[in-house]
Chains A and B, each alone.
Chain A
């Protein structure tokens, strides 16, 4: 999927490298074009890229109060979403960041209720020093040191103090270690406003938000590990597991299970890459074989023939909607349908960040149509001139076809998804019409 490493084709890695050296707006525009050209592709890459760009916006942009920052994030978010509307995770990350900012802001208000924040901050927040615009560390793109440097030691200790005094405030519930039940909105008015007598400045606030965004990034990175942990519960010895173009998450899930027990995997590959597909899954096949499990590469598109044999179907989600529908790689919907017809369980894997509050989509709107030359050569004049060729890239599985969702927080049923949503998103962000025409 991803363009080859090295080479000149832009990719997520290259984009992240350029972040530090460019002004924020240029980075945003560059990301938009990368998304439009699908050069950053796949939900995880899109989520990471979005988180990074929002971090840049928070760290480098000029903003003087919370509302301004929210507005800025919303604007950038709308642009990003418009550039790749089928990738719901972009909107998810934007909303997560918005919710994070709101949380931090309300926490601040609690800290010093006397001086209602925005007006107070205004004067303090002089335009950002140019130092802020330079360089996060090249390898792990953590908080830009510029921003850190700006924090007085005082501010830092204060945030540390917060961290110690009331963990609910600073470790947001979506941080990986938290339990699903952790209450998110607790910040609002939960603690008695103790007048610290210290003026929280924008820099401290900024660093809190940056910390929060980094936690989101960490969460995205740790999804695979945490999802893996459940694999032994799902997969039993001797099972026949059917997977469709497994993502890294699914592959790791299976290899973990294979380390404990032996089972058979029916691996359905992308038909357009009959020979190259072998390479893509070679490491996976090797690690499965080394632990004694069998991988059978299935070269069929209709999988009903295998359903009488298969025990479970495991699919990686591109995104999960609030009602339980799942966006998947094209071809997987037919598999899920066949599984349901045969009464086989369909298990969806994906991080919590893939669960979207978006509800207004019709099923067919979520199909992404792609390159028709996948199967039909452009040189084939008879086809090109007379036949309408459609080729889907991703499609939608209705929630009714799915039994279980496994996220980094554990296994969920469809009815449970909305609780996760309310845990992770603010009401006002969920209702924010991110798909509306952004005023550019």
Chain B
């Protein structure tokens, strides 16, 4: 992987993606270690508030190296942003906090109690000072300096972009598991729509488990606005939410609101956790299995399958077809040279004995397409008009394949289907924060019109791309 310029950080974190629970304590650890500093900063800010702190900072800045100053400037900027945000949230959260000094109950660590108190005497101030502290004392998170000034061309200014928010600047109500998850999303360690969804649901399960309804409230009314929403806001700030997450969160909120106020807390929480588990089981795990099987049915002996980059579901389908169904086929991987995840797939497939051809970019795309018989694409999402939201480049591949009359198969779990409509790639998209700076720009996704797709394979059935809305109706009926 030494060829990939940005490979190592993402690659290294990839295994964690599969098991977010395992990742959570890991990321929780550094948080604990820097906790004393935070408390320290807060106590000092309690008494003499800002002026002194500023003085201290300015005197310290004289001794700082250029890089540190940069880091600090960035931290301060982020702090200001957080301040604005906190003041907004503050108004909302005030009632809850005043009624319950320790909103997260006994299971929550002491640190959280501290945090909550800090908030009462001005979360904004403490947030800012904490950030300053961490930056100067090489805190674990702000050490990662991203491009300080990102200038996005005017014509793309409407598109969202993931950003790394130092853990210390997150809303104090954010659960540690979610904090870790947010970092993983912001750094693209967890990237694919369906994996982000799964990780989010598992993290929310943890949030619910550690939740206790404060006296005088009911779970159904309190959980969503005061506990879930801050988590969601934080995650959205870390990285724009994908459509599947939107769908699932809507579902989860519905489940919460359905809970009978008379049901005891423990029982209600258990019920919610069980239904999250079922949801993951049904909509993700089993769905993937069913899709892999259906895709396998479409692969015939002697086929050459053209794929783009690495998509989890496509990889599963190919491995299933080869290992379990014993199909004999070859695979051509056309990769995105900026991500190079196709190499991971290439190695996995080759290790299983599948004949693999790899092309690092779109050079000679037509040549590759001519030698292929079918195209397998993994969708990030499907729009209501049958267009596919996929990794940037999927559309170009689909056009080249369609020109040659290839059969283009899209694999997509129904949870990824959205009711929105997109006619071009700039309606919904995301800017790559790593490669977008003053000098360069990169979009992460594109939209493939339904005309370039042949069939969409979901766990509810394989349909024409334009019949995607029927799947949604089917889902509604079954619920």
Contacts and interface: CB of A to CB of B under 8 A. Distances in A.
B1 interface: yes
Given A297-B439, A298-B442, A302-B394, A392 B426 contact: no
A272 B338 CA distance: 8
Contacts of B343: 375-376, 380, 383
A271 B365 contact: no
Contacts of A82: none
Contacts of A395: 363-364, 366-367
Interface in A356-405: 363-364, 367, 369, 374-377, 379-380, 382-383, 386-393, 395
B362 A264 contact: no
A222 interface: no
B155 interface: yes
Contacts of B5: 274-275
A213 interface: no
Contacts of B446: 302, 304-305
A300 B364 contact: no
Contact of B392 (A285, A302, A341): A302
Contact of B362 (A331, A376, A386): A331
Interface in B335-350: 335-338, 340, 343, 346-347, 350
Contacts of B443: 300, 305-306
A239 B435 CA distance: 24
Nearest to A363: B366
A309 interface: yes
Contact of A305 (B338, B355, B395, B397): B395
A309 B158 CA distance: 13
Interface string B433-471: 001000111110111100000000000000000000000
B346 A301 contact: no
B441 A364 contact: no
Given A334-B362, A363-B366, A299 B442 contact: yes
A309 B36 CA distance: 51
Contacts of B336: 301-302
B358 interface: yes
Interface string A329-340: 011011001100
A363 B364 CA distance: 10
Contacts of A375: 3, 335, 337, 340, 343, 360-361
Interface residues of B, number: 55
B440 A334 contact: no
B429 A330 contact: no
A390 B155 contact: no
A218 interface: no
Contact of A304 (B346, B359, B395): B395
A303 interface: yes
B452 to A, nearest CB: 8
Contact of B363 (A285, A363, A380, A393): A393
B271 interface: no
A240 interface: yes
A387 B364 contact: no
B217 interface: no
Contact of B395 (A299, A338, A389): A338
A391 B359 contact: yes
A302 B360 contact: no
Contacts of B366: 333, 337, 363-364, 395
Contacts of A67: none
Given A305-B395, A337-B396, A386-B350, A379 B2 contact: yes
Contacts of B360: 271-272, 374-376, 389, 391
Nearest to B403: A337
Nearest to A396: B366
B300 to A, nearest CB: 21
Contacts of B400: 334, 337
Secondary structure at the A interface, as helix, strand, loop or mixed, is mixed
Given A272-B337, A305-B446, A337-B403, A300 B393 contact: yes
A388 B366 CA distance: 17
Nearest to A303: B396
Contacts of A297: 439-441
B347 A333 contact: no
Contact of B359 (A299, A302, A390, A393): A390
B351 A382 contact: yes
A339 to B, nearest CB: 10
Nearest to A397: B366
Contacts of B1: 380
Contacts of A240: 155
A299 B441 contact: yes
Contacts of B395: 302, 304-305, 338
B379 to A, nearest CB: 15
A377 B399 contact: no
Contact of B439 (A271, A272, A278, A302): A278
Nearest to B429: A305
A392 B335 CA distance: 13
B368 interface: yes
28 contacts: A271-B337, A271-B338, A271-B361, A272-B360, A278-B439, A298-B442, A299-B338, A299-B435, A299-B440, A300-B392, A301-B337, A301-B338, A302-B336, A302-B362, A302-B393, A302-B397, A303-B396, A304-B425, A330-B364, A333-B365, A338-B395, A364-B367, A367-B367, A375-B340, A375-B360, A380-B1, A382-B347, A387-B356
Given A331-B362, A334-B365, 14 more contacts: A264-B153, A272-B361, A285-B439, A302-B393, A304-B425, A304-B448, A305-B425, A308-B425, A338-B399, A375-B3, A387-B347, A388-B357, A389-B357, A389-B359
Interface of A: 240, 264, 269, 271-272, 274-275, 278, 285, 294, 296-309, 330-331, 333-334, 337-338, 341, 363-364, 367, 369, 374-377, 379-380, 382-383, 386-393, 395
